[in-house]
Amino acid sequence: MGGLWVLMVAATWVILGLIAASILSLVLYLAAKNRRKRRLLDTHRLTVVSASAPFLGLLWLATSFLIHVQISNRLAHQDCGLSGDPFVTLPNGYEVGSHNTYDGYFVAPGFRTDVSTVGPGYVRSLIDLRFSDPYFSGTLLDLDTYKVRRFVFDTRTRVFSSPDPIDDDAPKVKYSAPEALNAFGEAQTRVHEDADSYWKVYERYRHHWPNYVLLGLILTGETAIFLGTKGMGGDHGTTL
């Protein structure tokens, strides 16, 4: 659902942006046409500049956001803030995030999460999470039994331990079973209200400077477009 929501938000903003740019383009064109009645101006240049300026501004907004995504991912080592798979990288190199904004996890550098709740270098299906270097501790929802388990994870040795081991004699629940999906959904809904939710760790280690870079890109580019458009649409004739 997280990825679909992001797609819907992006599509909505694109549509709204195109509508706004179209309206502004028409307004600028009519204003330029009115100026042409009072001054001898280059008609073709005036038309092109006035009609295209809003779309150039919209294109720069999209370009700035794409640059922001790359800066966030490659330099800040986190998601851009509008992602179906949000993540941040801790000072020790471990990544804390949420698959599809609905399945909390942490994973060691060089490792990847898999289907199992616990695997080499990772723990997923998190509910609560505390990080006190070099230990992760908290609770998770075991995807075999859909029971909440406490755990401790040593980041130095990547050893997972739990005082609540899996009961091998307990009946297994299929992930697709209604009771399993309900248990997972309820746990992940309540997690946002927990004082020790893994989202708290995510928020604590996020960098904010990429947002300032994005703002600077937008202001610089839009100002350049405005000044360039103003110069191209300047008076090139004589006053009547």
DSSP 197: B
Tally the residues of the chain: 240
Based on the domain organization, do 150 and 117 belong to the same domain? yes
Please count the structural domains in the chain. Answer: 2
The verdict on residue 160 lying in a domain is: yes
Which range among 79-83, 96-100, 191-195 shows the weakest confidence by mean pLDDT? 191-195
DSSP H helical ranges for the chain: 2-38, 43-70, 178-190, 198-204, 209-232
- How far is Cα 120 from Cα 139, in angstroms, rounded to an integer? 18
Residue type, 219: L
Based on the domain organization, do 99 and 190 belong to the same domain? yes
Phi, psi of 97 (to 5 degrees): -165, -165
The verdict on residue 23 lying in a domain is: yes
Copy the structure tokens of residue 59: 């294109």
pLDDT digit string (tens) for 55-89?
888 888 889 999 999 999 999 999 998 888 999 99
Based on the domain organization, do 167 and 222 belong to the same domain? no
The verdict on residue 238 lying in a domain is: no
- How far is Cα 107 from Cα 160, in angstroms, rounded to an integer? 12
Q: What is the pLDDT of residue 147?
A: 80
Q: What is the pLDDT of residue 204?
A: 94
- How far is Cα 188 from Cα 182, in angstroms, rounded to an integer? 10
Based on the domain organization, do 192 and 214 belong to the same domain? no
Q: What is the mean pLDDT of residues 26-32?
A: 64
**CB proximity list for 190: less than 8 A, separation 6 or greater:** 127
The verdict on residue 167 lying in a domain is: yes
Based on the domain organization, do 98 and 201 belong to the same domain? yes
Based on the domain organization, do 66 and 144 belong to the same domain? no
43 compared with 94, residue with greater pLDDT: 94
pTM: 0.76
The verdict on residue 111 lying in a domain is: yes
Based on the domain organization, do 62 and 133 belong to the same domain? no
Based on the domain organization, do 29 and 98 belong to the same domain? no
The verdict on residue 145 lying in a domain is: yes
Residue pair 78/87 in contact (Cβ under 8 Å)? The answer is yes
Based on the domain organization, do 134 and 45 belong to the same domain? no
Q: What is the pLDDT of residue 105?
A: 96
Q: What is the pLDDT of residue 239?
A: 35
The verdict on residue 237 lying in a domain is: no
Based on the domain organization, do 106 and 193 belong to the same domain? yes
Write out the residue range of the structural domain in which residue 170 sits.
87-206
The verdict on residue 185 lying in a domain is: yes
pLDDT digit string (tens) for 141-190?
887 777 888 999 999 999 999 987 766 555 555 555 666 677 777 777 77
pLDDT digit string (tens) for 195-233?
899 999 999 999 999 999 999 999 998 888 778 776 655
Task: Using the Cα atoms of residue 142, residue 195, residue 193 and residue 120 in order, give the sign of their dihedral.
Answer: negative
SS3 labels along 3-31:
HHHHHHHHHHHHHHHHHHHHHHHHHHHHH
Copy the structure tokens of residue 212: 């300032």
Q: What is the pLDDT of residue 209?
A: 96
Based on the domain organization, do 123 and 181 belong to the same domain? yes
Residue type, 200: K
Residue pair 80/72 in contact (Cβ under 8 Å)? The answer is yes
